[in-house]
Amino acid sequence: MDSDDLYDEFGNFVGDANDSDAESGAGAPDPAPGHFAQNHAQNHAQNHAQNHAQNHPPDHSQNHPPDQAPWEDPPAGTPKAVFVPESAPAPAVETIVVNAASAGPAEPVIRPAPQAPAIEHGPRGDAALPATTYLKAYMRRVAQQQPERVRNVAVVGHLHSGKTSLVDSLVTHTHPGVGGGGGQRHGARPVRFLDTHPLERERGVSLHTSAVSLLLQDSRDRSFAVCLLDCPGHADFRDERLALMGAVEGVVVVVDVVEGLGAPTKTMVSEAMRRNLPMTVVLSKLDRLVLELQLAPRDAGRKISHVLAAINGHVHHNEYAAAYTHERLFSPLNDNVVFASHALGASFTLATWSRLYAARFHMDAARLRLLLWGDVYFHEGRFRTAPPAPAAPTLFEQFVLEPVYKLVAHTLVADAGDGSLARLLWDHFAVALPKAAYREDPQTLLRTVFRAVFPDTGDLVHLIVQNTPPPRGAAVLASRGVAAASLGPDLVVADVFKTSLRRDAATFECLAKVVHGTLRAGDAVHVVAGDGSGDGDGAVRSALVRSIHVPVARYHMDVDAAPEGTIVVLRGVAGAVGKAATLYSRHTPAPLLRPIHRTDNGLRSFYKVAVECENPAELPRLVAALQRLAACYLSAEPRLEESGEHVLLAPGELYLDCFLHDLRHASTPCLAIRVSDPMVRFAETCGERSAARVAPHSPSKTCLLAVSAEPVRDARLLAAIEKGAVSLAQPARTTARVLRDDFGWDALAARSLWCFGPRDLQSPSMLLDDTLDADTDKAALAQARDLIVAGFRLAAAEGPLCAEPVRRTKFKILDAVLGADVRASGGQIIPVARNAVHCGLLTAAPRLLEPVYRVHVSCTAKSVPAVHTILEKRRGWVLSETPVAGTPLSELEGCVPIIDSVGLDTDMRLYTQGQAFCSLDFLRWDVVPGDPMDLLCPLPQMGPVPRASMARDFVMKTRRRKGLGGEPTLQKYVDPELYASLRRRGILN
């Protein structure tokens, strides 16, 4: 056939119709003759027969066989593999006829195809589990019979610092079938074995806690059962990190060696020090120094030293440094620093290199290791502490970094046939690769070379198990106020710190740590709900532990019992747990049943959206789904407003996005919902001392209470109350002494402190008794103290402006007239106390508070002006600007109100073309500009609100959203005569 006939007039390849190769892909195996045609005809016949039977009565006039299509045969010479009759329906098409009169409005015409489960977990039987380099039965035996070989470690770090990749490297070394036995083809996606949620795989970000238990060997070939908890690095998932740190005995801090110790990582280091947890630092992404920044070995060594100096400086000057009992100097010489690179597939320490050079220098490896860091030089066959030349490299640069640079350069630059790479590997590392390996893609070859030079992770495991002590349940219980001796050896205590969806996306499982005794499958337990800070703490339920499993990310291993110190997955108790709970044995005495879990879930949930169903008939499904899914998200708080709206609170945009994704697809499939624009939670405070003494009374005129308000401007005092340094749980004398000695209170005021509020103790308000003995019946007031405190807490939880918490305000009881029988007047004292607190706030120049984010931006130098512009447009500002040493990057720290931060990350990436990345974390409460009680401020309907009217605008919009009618006014709390008198005297506007 002429070659011109193979192409049309536009140059497109047509091919020969009689040539079967023209229709098959290049390099693809030829199918069996008639295979495509047979399957194609069968599919068309089945679809046609099904549609014909549904839409037409049977017609026996045609005598077609049931497996033969009623159309004519194709013309002679036409390839059967590509023939599609014109009258045949398209493949996989189903014709549906719907009667509009009989179909219900809620019944979909076409049901959506079933999707894969949102949470993936593999099979449970050992025979069906992925192959490992160790026996799973041996791992169970080590965990149950050798508690000194058990380690629980949290892996923390900033977003995209390499935490999940570090754990993946341990998984690939112990699971030969995962990631090609530790290799990775060029262009292939990372293993991400711990990403079990669809959003995690889609976005490449860890969004949920992942637990993986492995049997790892250290450099001395000792086996340890290590449970690694991969914590999300995004700031929105702070509560999950805190919950995980409460369940481990050690922390691995992963730091990107290029970006250094950023502000988010500093927060994690401070939290580890506050909990007195030993830390191991992993300097990850070492390849970026060579391939991305292209630094010389000398500059790379200085960059590494600079990063370690920043870490040590932060630890040394940390507020928790005095109470931190573990090693505070992070240095490769102290066996608490590891160098790693997932792109190279390697991790090493100084001990790794000292073993390579020990035979060459005829030295002990341990002694040589001490020379590989610091100002030590090698010149003319001798080790020196003084540099032989001004630019002489140190031993670390010469014997560690330069070989790494040579391996990278020879692998990427050398030709496959010159043999230079093979000679380098054999002469310096005694490694020989097969000839086929040198013909691989350079990226694949690079990982192969480093895998051959650093074949295991023994040194990484050695440092982790050396710096992390084995679990001690008695110490955990003692730190949470429970004496282990009072429990006895037969009782069991377990801390449930995480609840997650199972594979079926309909039931739940719990991640728990056994802190005392041995928990067995089939045990009946008491579930003490609550996390130690909520209203529902102490509620006791009964549950049955149906099964116990060892978590390995995508699959679980069955076990019959979980001894003290192990972290396991429990099934059967999730219905009684909620977000967190404590499990006790069924025969535990009632006085010992108390929650030991301590977190501050939801304290930073400031983002708020309203959720409703598109179909109102599905409201019960929505309510049930919100309650069920909130158990999996520690910071999510679904609420029902007085207006009937269902509101969801979350720490940030990404957190909300993940929750709403699971609400639509995982917890309740095919649930159509509508979501409002993001809003924020506000707070209320006052700007000055109360201008008048207003005393609301009860309807019976038998109870009267006068309360004044004034702002609290002592930031140290507010911080001490939040951290628990000033607590009413202490003896009254201790609290009074702290207030008097540390904060300058007078003795009378320090003794008259009654309570704090609201319950979250975030920038709290406080109530004091400032009455005089001559004017007030102190005995009756003391008897009514609990009732007045209850009224104060109600008022502090919902202020008079827009039913938001009242913060940073000191309330003083000036006068109290109570009924003759205080107990009988309890129903009147509580609302009077609430109204009195509201009156005190309204007469003290009330102001609205808004939460403010601290913004951490990492960007190039050219993007700095764009970052300034973006923040200024959102009422934000930049506090500091610091260049990152050795890189073209800069770190900016600024502030932005949360209500103006919606879409900030997207805007930065868009306007800087991806050269700026920001991280947001709660900083403080700031006063909103304007007076919320100003009735004359302009509020334009179709334009931006002036800065002086923002407070008024936020208050009115929030009141309408919550269904609170009218204006925030003092008139609803006092008599009309008193209100008119206050207005005449000019006290009220």
The DSSP secondary structure of 737-769, one letter per residue, reads HHHHHHH---HHHHHTEEEEESTT-SS-EEEEE
Give the other-Cβ count within 10 Å of 598's Cβ: 16
Quote the pLDDT of residue 14.
53
Is there a contact between 164 and 176 (Cβ–Cβ < 8 Å)? no
| The domain boundary residue, chosen from 829, 845, 861 | 845
- Residue partners of 318: CB distance under 8 A and separation at least 6: 269, 270, 273, 324
Dist. CA 207–CA 199, nearest whole Å: 8
Q: With H, G, I as helix, E, B as strand and everything else as coil, classify residue 858.
A: strand
Query: How confident is the model over 322-360, as pLDDT tens digits?
Result: 999 999 999 999 999 999 999 898 999 999 999 999 888
pLDDT-wise least confident of 528-537, 666-675, 874-883, 894-903: 528-537
Are residues 173 and 97 both part of a single domain? no
- CA torsion sign, 45 to 47 to 51 to 54? positive
Determine, yes or no, domain membership for 425.
yes
Q: Give the pairing type, strands 540-544 and 547-552.
A: unpaired
Q: Does position 38 have pLDDT exceeding 90, yes or no?
A: no
Are residues 838 and 857 both part of a single domain? no
Quote the pLDDT of residue 664.
86
Are residues 425 and 345 both part of a single domain? yes
Query: How confident is the model over 697-720, as pLDDT tens digits?
Result: 887 778 889 999 999 999 999 999
| The domain boundary residue, chosen from 810, 845, 880 | 845
Phi, psi (rounded to 5 degrees) for 495:
-105, 110
Q: Does position 84 have pLDDT exceeding 70, yes or no?
A: no
Phi, psi (rounded to 5 degrees) for 232:
-60, 140
Nearest residue to 584 via CA among 645, 638, 541, 634: 541
Q: Does residue 77 or residue 926 have the better pLDDT? A: 926
Q: Assess whether the previous peptide bond of 758 is cis (omega < 30° from 0).
A: yes
Query: How confident is the model over 563-572, as pLDDT tens digits?
Result: 999 999 999 9
pLDDT-wise least confident of 403-407, 588-592, 841-845: 588-592
Is there a contact between 548 and 569 (Cβ–Cβ < 8 Å)? yes
Determine, yes or no, domain membership for 601.
no
Dist. CA 418–CA 420, nearest whole Å: 6
CA 815-819-822 angle, 5° bins: 100
Are residues 530 and 658 both part of a single domain? no
Range ranked top by mean pLDDT from 664-668, 729-733, 848-852:
848-852
Give the other-Cβ count within 10 Å of 24's Cβ: 14
Quote the pLDDT of residue 91.
52
Query: How confident is the model over 87-127, as pLDDT tens digits?
Result: 444 555 666 676 655 655 556 666 655 555 444 444 456 67
Q: Does residue 225 or residue 435 have the better pLDDT? A: 225
For residue 80, what pLDDT band results from cuts at 50, 70 and 90? very low
Are residues 615 and 718 both part of a single domain? no
Phi, psi (rounded to 5 degrees) for 637:
-135, 100
Quote the pLDDT of residue 381.
82
* Separation in Å, CA 232 to CA 72, 244, 493, 568, 633: 62, 10, 27, 19, 13
Q: Which residue, chain included where needed, has tokens 């693809």?
A: 28
Quote the pLDDT of residue 824.
60
The enclosing domain of 836 has a CATH number of 3.30.230.10
Q: Does position 74 have pLDDT exceeding 50, yes or no?
A: no
Is there a contact between 648 and 638 (Cβ–Cβ < 8 Å)? yes
The enclosing domain of 429 has a CATH number of 3.40.50.300
Determine, yes or no, domain membership for 739.
yes
Nearest residue to 160 via CA among 914, 721, 974, 968: 914
- Residue partners of 782: CB distance under 8 A and separation at least 6: none
Are residues 9 and 132 both part of a single domain? no
Quote the pLDDT of residue 111.
61
Quote the pLDDT of residue 439.
87
Determine, yes or no, domain membership for 489.
yes
Dist. CA 972–CA 963, nearest whole Å: 17
Q: With H, G, I as helix, E, B as strand and everything else as coil, classify residue 404.
A: helix
For residue 955, what pLDDT band results from cuts at 50, 70 and 90? very high
Nearest residue to 255 via CA among 280, 230, 237: 280
Torsion angle defined by CA atoms of residues 284, 289, 291 and 292, in that order, rounded to the nearest 10 degrees: 100
- HEC string of 918-964 equals EEEEEEEEEECCCCCCCCCCCCCCCCCCCHHHHHHHHHHHHHHHHCC
Q: Could you tell me the residue range of the domain that residue 713 belongs to?
A: 696-845
* Separation in Å, CA 285 to CA 179, 295, 346, 432, 668: 19, 14, 10, 26, 40
Q: Does residue 331 or residue 980 have the better pLDDT? A: 331
Determine, yes or no, domain membership for 559.
yes
- How many independent structural domains does the chain possess? 6
Task: Give the chain's mean pLDDT.
Answer: 84
| The domain boundary residue, chosen from 647, 680, 713 | 680
Q: Give the pairing type, strands 250-256 and 223-230.
A: unpaired
Upper half-sphere CA count for residue 346 (Cβ side, 13 Å) = 21
Are residues 436 and 559 both part of a single domain? no
The DSSP secondary structure of 187-253, one letter per residue, reads TPPP--TT--SHHHHHHT---S-EEEEEEEE-TT--EEEEEEEE---SGGGHHHHHHHHTT-SEEEE
Are residues 147 and 76 both part of a single domain? no
Dist. CA 35–CA 3, nearest whole Å: 29
Q: With H, G, I as helix, E, B as strand and everything else as coil, classify residue 282.
A: strand
Q: With H, G, I as helix, E, B as strand and everything else as coil, classify residue 500.
A: strand
Are residues 941 and 833 both part of a single domain? no
Determine, yes or no, domain membership for 51.
yes
Quote the pLDDT of residue 504.
61
Q: Average pLDDT for residues 585-613, to the nearest whole number?
A: 85
- CA torsion sign, 125 to 126 to 128 to 130? positive
Q: DSSP character for 801?
A: T
How many residues appear in the chain?
Answer: 989
The enclosing domain of 633 has a CATH number of 3.30.70.870
Q: Does position 396 have pLDDT exceeding 90, yes or no?
A: yes
Are residues 343 and 194 both part of a single domain? yes
Q: Give the pairing type, strands 540-544 and 753-757.
A: unpaired
**Angle, in degrees to the nearest 10, between helices 420-429 and 442-453:** 20
Determine, yes or no, domain membership for 841.
yes
Determine, yes or no, domain membership for 599.
no
Is there a contact between 584 and 528 (Cβ–Cβ < 8 Å)? yes
Torsion angle defined by CA atoms of residues 541, 544, 546 and 550, in that order, rounded to the nearest 10 degrees: 60
Q: How far apart are the first and last CA of the chain?
A: 98
Are residues 314 and 431 both part of a single domain? yes
Percent pLDDT > 70 in the chain is 83
Are residues 885 and 807 both part of a single domain? no
pLDDT-wise least confident of 96-105, 296-305, 595-604, 769-778: 96-105
Q: Which residue, chain included where needed, has tokens 């140190």?
A: 394
Dist. CA 582–CA 594, nearest whole Å: 8
Dist. CA 522–CA 585, nearest whole Å: 12
pTM equals 0.83
The enclosing domain of 868 has a CATH number of 3.30.70.240
Query: How confident is the model over 233-284, as pLDDT tens digits?
Result: 999 999 889 999 989 999 999 999 999 999 999 999 999 999 999 999 999 9
Query: How confident is the model over 814-841, as pLDDT tens digits?
Result: 998 887 666 666 678 899 999 999 999 9
